[in-house]
Amino acid sequence: MPLLSKYATCVLRPVSWCAGARSYSVAAVSETDETELDKWIWNIRGTVIHYDDEISRMKVRDLYYTLPTRDPAHPPPRNASISPLHCLAFFHPRLPEEQLEADLTETHFCPPAPFGARRMWVGGSLHFPNGSNQGLRMGNEALAAVSVSKVEKKGFDKGSPMVFVHKDVYYKHQLGDDPVVKEKRIHAYLTEETRPSGRIREVTGLPKPQFTYTWTPTATTLFRFSALMWNAHLIHLDREYTRKREGYPDLLVHGPLTALMLVEALLHNGYKGRINNFEYRARNPVYVDRNQHIHGAIGANKGKGMLWAEDDDGVVGMTGSVDLEA
C-alpha cells in the first residue's frame, strides 16, 4: 500500500510540437472552480507517496507475453537489471473501485472537480543516473517515491481549460538509496465537457528513418497492459464509453505503452549499449487495431537518437529522443 508523507548517421533536428498534443472543444469553468484548483495546487506541494513492489519474475514474464518484441521463455535472470521503461509496469496505486474517478483512473494527485473528470498521459522522461544497465533488479523488492513538481493551467482564458500535472517518480531499491531511475510523468486533466476536436496535429522536423519496427496493438494488448499497470482507465477498455463519452472513434493505446515500444524498437534493432536518458511526447491519439510503424534514427556521433511512431496514414502518435552511450 502507498505511504503518504510530507517533506518540508543523419542530422537530428528539433521536432516541432505544440503543448497539449490534442485539440479540444470549448468548455468553461467557474471562478469558484479555479479558486479551488489554486488551493489544491498550493496544498499538494511537498506531498510524497511511496509505492512498494516486487520486481517479480512472473510479472516480467507477463510483460514479455504482452510485448511483441520479447520472448517470455527468456526473462532476465535474478538480480539482473530489467530493461529500460519496464519499470512502468510496476509501482501503481491500489485503490478500491469506489475511490476511482468517473473514467476509472486513480485519484492520487488528481486535481479537484471539475478538472479530474478526464485524464490523458501526454509525455514524460526517464533518466538513468548509472545507465540503463544499472536499473531495478529482477527478483528484488523496491519502491517508487512520487511527488508533484509542477502544475500548469492552460487554456483557461480560451474556454478550453486543461490542468497539466508534472510528477517526479524516483525508483529506488530501498528507502534512503539514491534513485536508479528518475522519471518525469505528465498528465493532462480535463473537464467532462471538454471533447477532442478530431484535428490531426502535424509533426515536422523528423529525420529519415534508419530502421522501422511495425506492430499492431490489439484490444487484448490493451487489456493485458492495463492489467499489468493496475489501470482500469475506460478509454483503453470500453469502446462504448470511449466513443460516446470521450468522443474518440475507438479505444486508445496507453501513452506509456507507446513510449515503451519506442525504446523496445531501438533494442530490437540491435542496440546493446546503455541508455542514459529518454524523453517522449504524445502528438496525436494512437488507436487500437491500427498498425504502428516505429521509426528510429541515430545521430552521426552515435550519442543521440530520435524515435517516433506513426500509423498507415502517416499520423505521428508519439515522438521520443534518446541519449545513448556514445
Q: What is the mean pLDDT of the segment spanning 9-15?
A: 41
pLDDT of 8 above 90: no
Its pTM stands at 0.90
pLDDT of residue 4: 44
The CATH number, out of the four listed (3.10.129.10, 3.30.470.10, 2.60.220.10, 1.10.10.10), of the domain defined by the range 3-324: 3.10.129.10
pLDDT of residue 18: 38
Q: What is the mean pLDDT of the segment spanning 39-61?
A: 95
Q: What is the mean pLDDT of the segment spanning 305-310?
A: 98
239-276 pLDDT tens trace: 999 999 999 999 999 999 999 999 999 999 999 999 99
pLDDT of residue 157: 86
Q: Report how far residue 262's alpha carbon sits from residue 30's, in angstroms, rounded to the nearest whole number.
A: 40
pLDDT of residue 326: 63
Q: Report how far residue 74's alpha carbon sits from residue 215's, in angstroms, rounded to the nearest whole number.
A: 21
The C-alpha angle 243, 21, 12, rounded to 5 degrees, equals 135
Half-sphere exposure of residue 116: CA atoms within 13 angstroms, side-chain side: 17
What are the C-alpha distances in Å from 304 to residues 15, 36, 37, 74, 321? 14, 43, 39, 29, 7
Pair 33, 114: CB distance under 8 Å: yes
130-153 pLDDT tens trace: 888 788 999 999 999 999 999 999
Winning range, highest mean pLDDT, from 154-158, 195-199, 261-265: 261-265
% of the chain surpassing 90 pLDDT: 77
% of the chain surpassing 70 pLDDT: 91
If phi > 0 it is left, if psi is from -120 to 50 it is alpha, else beta; for residue 292 that is beta
Pair 243, 250: CB distance under 8 Å: yes
Which residue, 222, 318, 223, is CA-closest to 263? 318
Pair 9, 178: CB distance under 8 Å: no
pLDDT of 3 above 60: no
pLDDT of residue 27: 56
The C-alpha angle 305, 306, 308, rounded to 5 degrees, equals 150
